[in-house]
């Protein structure tokens, strides 16, 4: 299977999420919000990976829709941790930009799959 841009970007984002999580627990001693952030931020790539082996186009789109929901949730946790002082503005900006890019890609892929399914 050829490399997928969304799979690569979501995996790279998960790596950044894990590194940020480690800093949050070791440097900021924040364990609750950061755990939610870790769960949703790494779930994006896991769902994208699962979608790559979907049983049908509908299954593929469904898994990507779950990944899109997780991306949206991750943005929520990023904003909340920034507003409550756990994340600095610079890392918040980076995390939000990366996650929003993934969100846009997922939305575009899902729309394309839905359009192609209707036209088939």
Where along the chain do its domains lie?
Answer: 5-119
User: Given this model, what pLDDT does residue 2 score?
Assistant: 58
pLDDT on residue 46: 98
pLDDT less than 50: residues of the chain: none
Q: What is the pLDDT of residues 3-23, one digit of tens each?
A: 699 999 999 999 999 999 999
pLDDT of residue 18: 98
* Contact by Cβ (8 Å): 75, 100: yes
Query: For position 117, what pLDDT does the model report?
Result: 82
What pLDDT does residue 116 have? 87
Read off the pTM: 0.94
Joined together, the tokens standing for residue 2 give: 């050829």
C-alpha angle 61/7/49, rounded to 5°? 60
- Cβ density class 83-100: b for 16+ within 10 Å, e for less: eeebbeeebbeebbebbe
> From residue 72, how far is each of 29, 43, 47, 79, 89 by CA, in Å?
25, 11, 14, 11, 19
CA-to-CA distance for 85 and 92, rounded, in angstroms? 11
Q: Give me the pLDDT at residue 3, please.
A: 67
Fold classification of 5-119 is de novo design (two linked rop proteins) (1.20.1440)
Backbone angles phi, psi at 29, to 5 degrees: 55, 40
């Amino acid at each position: 299977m050829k490399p997928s841009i969304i799979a690569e970007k979501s995996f790279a984002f998960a790596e950044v999420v894990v590194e940020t999580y480690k800093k949050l627990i070791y440097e900021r001693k924040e364990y609750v919000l950061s755990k939610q952030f870790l769960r949703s931020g790494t779930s994006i790539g896991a769902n994208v990976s699962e979608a790559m082996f979907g049983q049908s186009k509908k299954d593929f789109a469904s898994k990507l829709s779950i990944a899109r929901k997780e991306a949206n949730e991750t943005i929520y946790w990023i904003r909340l941790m920034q507003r409550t002082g756990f994340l600095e503005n610079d890392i918040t900006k980076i995390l939000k930009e990366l996650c929003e890019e993934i969100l846009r890609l997922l939305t575009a892929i899902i729309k394309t799959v839905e359009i192609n399914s209707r036209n088939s």
